[in-house]
Amino acid sequence: MNYLHKKFYIFGILIFILLNLNAQDIHFSQFYNTPLIINPAFTGNSDYNLRFGLNYRNQGKSISVPYKTYSAFIDAKLTPRFLKRGRFGIGGMFYNDRAGDGNLQSTTGMAFASYSKGFNRYNTFVGTIGIAIGFLNRSVNFSKLLFDNQWNGTSFDPSLPNNENFTDNSIFSIDFNFGALISYSFSKKIKVHIGSSLCHVNKPKTSFYESNNRLEHKLIIHGGLYYELNNKLNITPEFFYSTQSNTNEIIFGTNLLYGKKELKLNCGIWYRFSRDIIPLIGINYNKYNLSFSYDINISKLHYASNYCGGMEISLIRIFYINNRRTPCENFEYSY
């Protein structure tokens, strides 16, 4: 097999797997550190008043031009006096994803709002609904891409016309997301949550052609447990499931936090079903949470990737602000 054929073979495997496993949306292995992307009901749904987060992911470097994803979010909890057993959450999120030789970019900016209600006397059983609305932009540089019509029989010739019927190289759409969450505290040491969200409710258009191709609905189901074994050790097992355009993604695993209140070591192991093993290490210092993970690719793509997957970094800063009234005892979702 010559170099050119090998290159096309590897590229074909990559495209096939990406289209069949994660065709439409960005994804983070540290899904628990991207709460607003996962479910709008996470907005302001925490034990602190204000939270700010940054996420970065780099994947596919061992095969082709790497996919780079950047994300930032901020959310806050509001507890007005007229809500006797509830609270509001507000927030915002931005992410950008860049991929391939054509610099294909997906950029999204969204505003979030949520409402939480306690259902029992001590507010240990809490339900939350959340919504998100924003814009989605996709753009590409066609001049950097090669098409089948530019094959002259022996090589690709960029000077030849591509004969593609592109209507635009940048498109904008409105996007809507909706989610719900239920949390229950058995005690201060044992807390659980389960939630679900529906992304792209309005199926925003994403095609560069005249066709009416749209971003399909994405259903997410997730849940987790916080268990304080003692005053130095906590475990936080979670699961994540998503389905979109007949493709599925399943991630499950756990993190362990060890140390005192001001300083904790965070380590964990996660598994993306049939695709990746994901070790994680991090540190929680004061009000800063820093985590690093790496996807070890074990799917059929490992012949081309050499078991190299995606590197991911997450940084979260939390703020505690004195509040006259705290209506609901909340579950702490980020670590």
Nearest to 289, CA basis, from 42, 30, 71: 30
Q: What's the confidence (pLDDT) of residue 2? A: 47
Mean per-residue pLDDT over the chain, rounded = 83
Distances (CA, A) of 126 to 90, 180, 328: 17, 11, 7
Whole-number percent of the chain with pLDDT over 90? 55
pLDDT for 330 beyond 60 = no
pTM of the model: 0.82
Integer Cα distance of 206 and 173 in angstroms? 8
Q: How confident is the model at residue 12 (pLDDT cuts 50, 70, 90)?
A: very low
Q: Please tell me the predicted confidence (pLDDT) of residue 48.
A: 84
What number is the average pLDDT over the span 122-142?
90
- How do residues 45-87 score in pLDDT, each as one tens digit? 888 899 999 999 998 665 565 788 999 999 999 988 888 788 9
Name every residue whose Cβ is closer than 8 Å to that of residue 46 and which is 6 or more positions away in sequence. 75, 77, 318, 330, 331, 332, 333, 334
Pairwise pLDDT comparison (330 vs 117), residue with the higher score: 117
* Predicted pLDDT at 289: 96
Fold of 3-319: Porin (2.40.160)
Question: Which pLDDT score, from 0 to 100, does residue 139 have?
Answer: 84
- Which range, of 106-110, 282-286, 323-327, averages the lowest pLDDT? 323-327
Q: What is the pLDDT of residues 138-179, one digit of tens each?
A: 887 666 666 666 676 677 666 666 656 665 678 899 999 999
The string of DSSP letters for 222-266 reads: EEEEEEE-SSSEEEEEEEEEEEETTEEEEEEEEEEEEE-SSEEEE
% of residues, the chain, pLDDT over 70: 75
Indicate whether 296 pLDDT > 70.
yes
Q: CA 68 to CA 58: how far, in whole Å?
A: 5
